A and B are shown apart, each in its own frame.
Chain A
Amino acid sequence: MADEFNGDALDALFAEARRVDAAPELRVRVLADGLAVAGEAGKPANPRRRGSGGWLGWLDNMGGWPALSGVTAAGIAGLSLGLYAPEVVDLVLGGQLTTFMGGSVTPDMDTLLLAVGDFGDV
């Protein structure tokens, strides 16, 4: 009986297991830990996310992080939720945030005033 499953079938299962990857959100947490350890992120090591209530629960129902285009979504979501320092998100995005913000992940006063100005007089 065992002969019927020998060789290729088990190897194919192993090959399938090799394609399993870590979730983008885990990658963000790990990088945040790295920067925290390096003493430059300004935040302690990040807590593990257990449970899936609220916004994260909604995301899980939508198919999880892959539904939001992977690592970028995780980084942006982390930034928008205030979970991760901008430096972490920038690192995850390979410097794209720095480029977008004109060289710094912390907006200067002119940028902020310009953004406020976009809303017009109130």
Chain B
Amino acid sequence: MEATNAELDALGDDALMVLFAGGDHDAARILTDRLLPRAFRHAARVLGDRAEAEDIAQEAMLRLWRAAPDWNPHGPARPRTWLYRVTANLSVDRLRRRGRAVGLDEDLPSSAPSVESQMQDAGRMAALDAALARLPERQRQAVVLRHIEGLANPEIAEVLGIGVEAVESLTARGKRALTAALASKKEALGYG
């Protein structure tokens, strides 16, 4: 007897992965509802490009589907964390390919467009993206995962493959840098 939607909704992602691997289509639908928005938002803010973010999110979800048959529901990795990690890696690859990546923890390149120039005809999300784009790669990922996706520091550490203390440092520095980059644009952003 198949599980009802309510029963499936109550299951964890691990259990849904097992059900999907067993051919349960509704499990795929619920996993998509839960995880796709996260992968998309993560990629969108890191890349600052909706179309590219859609590509990355679709590719990350495709890899999740392919991983399902071998998924160990009792293993240490959770589907959500696994997906964030794949999304992070795919996004970094994309950034490096298009040559816009800032080094892992380097200072801003002098050629980076100013926040002001990128905000002239852009909305609030574009302003946030412009400021995020000026952060070093890992800072950007850490800030997005912490402050937009709401992950706890240990999970961010797992996603990025670094220590918890490093995450704390990255998010603190990243938030300070964002604040500084956006500070002079408070009125343009509709605040104050």
Whole-angstrom distance from the CB of A57 to the nearest CB of chain B?
14
User: B65 near A33 (CB under 8 angstroms)?
Assistant: yes
**Main SS of chain A's interface residues?**
helix
User: B186 near A20 (CB under 8 angstroms)?
Assistant: no
- Chain A residues near B31 (CB-CB < 8 A): 34
Whole-angstrom distance from the CB of A100 to the nearest CB of chain B?
17
- Chain B residues near A26 (CB-CB < 8 A): 36, 40, 54, 57-58
Contact partner of B29 among A22, A40, A92, CB < 8 A?
Answer: A92
Given contacts A9-B186, A33-B62, contact A20 B44 (CB under 8 A): yes
**Main SS of chain B's interface residues?**
helix
Number of A-B contacts (CB under 8 A): 118
User: A2 near B23 (CB under 8 angstroms)?
Assistant: no
Q: Is A13 an interface residue, CB under 8 A from the partner?
A: yes
Measured CB to CB, the residues of A under 8 A from B are 1-6, 9-14, 16-18, 20-23, 26-27, 29-31, 33-35, 37-38, 40, 45, 48, 50, 87, 91-92, 94
Measured CB to CB, the residues of B under 8 A from A are 5, 20, 23, 25-26, 28-29, 31-33, 36-37, 40-41, 44-45, 51, 54-55, 57-58, 61-62, 65-66, 68, 124-125, 127-128, 147-150, 175-176, 178-180, 182-186, 189, 191-192
